[in-house]
Amino acid sequence: MVVANDLSSKILPRVLIVSRRTLRKNKYVDFVGEYHLDLIVSSGAVPVIVPRVNGIHSMLQSFEPIHGVLLCEGEDVDPSLYADAESSGLSPEDMEEIKKVHAEDMTIDREKDSIELTLARLCLERNIPFLGICRGSQILNVAAGGTLYQDIDKELGTTTTTTKHIDYDNYDGHRHEARIVEETPLHKLFEEMEIKVNSYHHQGVKRLAQRFVPMAYAPDGLIEGFYDPNRYDPKEGQFLMGLQFHPERMRLSGSDEFDYPGCALVYQEFVKAAIAFQKKQVSAAQMEMKRKTTTLVKSFSQAEFLEANTVLSKQQENRLQQMGATVRNSCVYMKRMKRKEEQERAMDKFSAERLSDLLSFHHMMARLCSDAIKRKLLEPEATDRTIESSFFLSY
């Protein structure tokens, strides 16, 4: 855990979290559970809340730089995003029954789906650290090409005597067993082969996307955790994991103490990856800046593109005459004109990007010179008098 005082002088990595909305006093309010925020902050990163509002999915590039993405709870993922109506085998009567039991969760939020799927795919494409909790793990699986059970009880045949995945009467206190797969990140974080996890869902992973490997199973066979083995190395900025349970809420009754140390470690390892990813991004940016600076310096070296040419062309002779060159001063005109023409030819060979860099360099030098002149003009009058006296003495 990172102490707050140690963070004051650091530029911390940014972890994006999409909000969830709820109806309060007849209007929608966006929120994110504080347990997530506390764990991100205490682990050494800055949580950046992405509001679940219309149109935000097309503005996500404005949230750059992104060093990590945490997706957590929410409503059911729109089934049309991963399967057709027939694939579930659920009848209209089944769907009506499910709605009666899970009315709040079955309210589809297409805007949130769009925002979170865009972010998940961005993480998959750019190797940005990603942690999915509950719905977030389902979004990750769908983004990578997997599918979901629209209702575990109906499709998997789970009963309350085997595994109960949601208990509205004992919401936070309910637990069920989860068997952890050996030699997986979850095994290393919890250091146990079997744990009791909380459960707040009626959907879950049906077909796991090909790139992922299971880390834990419920007694009924439902996948409770998965990861990408080719994208898991927190020290190197790699983290791609989905957990169906909520480690942030697995706490002893009436206490903030976690059921297992591994609950907090999940977030700490995720933030560790975000920090390493940020360092890599900064290093890459510095190397690119160095490369551009080197290229810029080389661009000003006339030795690279000027060629000796002492023979005047007909066009050069005509221009010399138009400029009023005489036998006495034609050599000076010739040298100036030749240098200008060669520089123009060299500039024509540059790409638009190179010319833009040159222009930026000149603007920067202009600002530096302007600042230097201002400093000179603002020097104490005593200094001016000394300089003035020295000038007259030397004169």
Question: By C-alpha distance, which of 146, 165, 27 is closest to 77?
Answer: 146
Which residues, including other chains, have CB under 8 Å from residue 374's CB and lie 6 or more apart? Answer: none
Residues 264 and 39 sit within 8 Å (Cβ to Cβ): yes
Based on the residue annotation, tell me whether 246 is a catalytic residue of this protein. yes
**Among 116, 155, 248, 269, which one carries the catalytic annotation?**
248
Based on the residue annotation, tell me whether 369 is a catalytic residue of this protein. no
Q: Which two tokens stand for residue 19?
A: 């909000």
* DSSP-derived secondary structure letter, 144: T
Q: Is the omega angle on the peptide bond into residue 261 within 30 degrees of 0, that is, cis?
A: no
**Among 201, 246, 263, 269, which one carries the catalytic annotation?**
246
CA 41 to chain centroid: 17
Phi, psi of 273 (to 5 degrees): -65, -40
CA 87 to chain centroid: 34
Question: By C-alpha distance, which of 156, 199, 144 is closest to 176?
Answer: 199
Match 């399967």 to its residue by tokens. 83
**Among 134, 165, 201, 224, which one carries the catalytic annotation?**
134
Based on the residue annotation, tell me whether 134 is a catalytic residue of this protein. yes
- Which positions are catalytic? 134, 246, 248
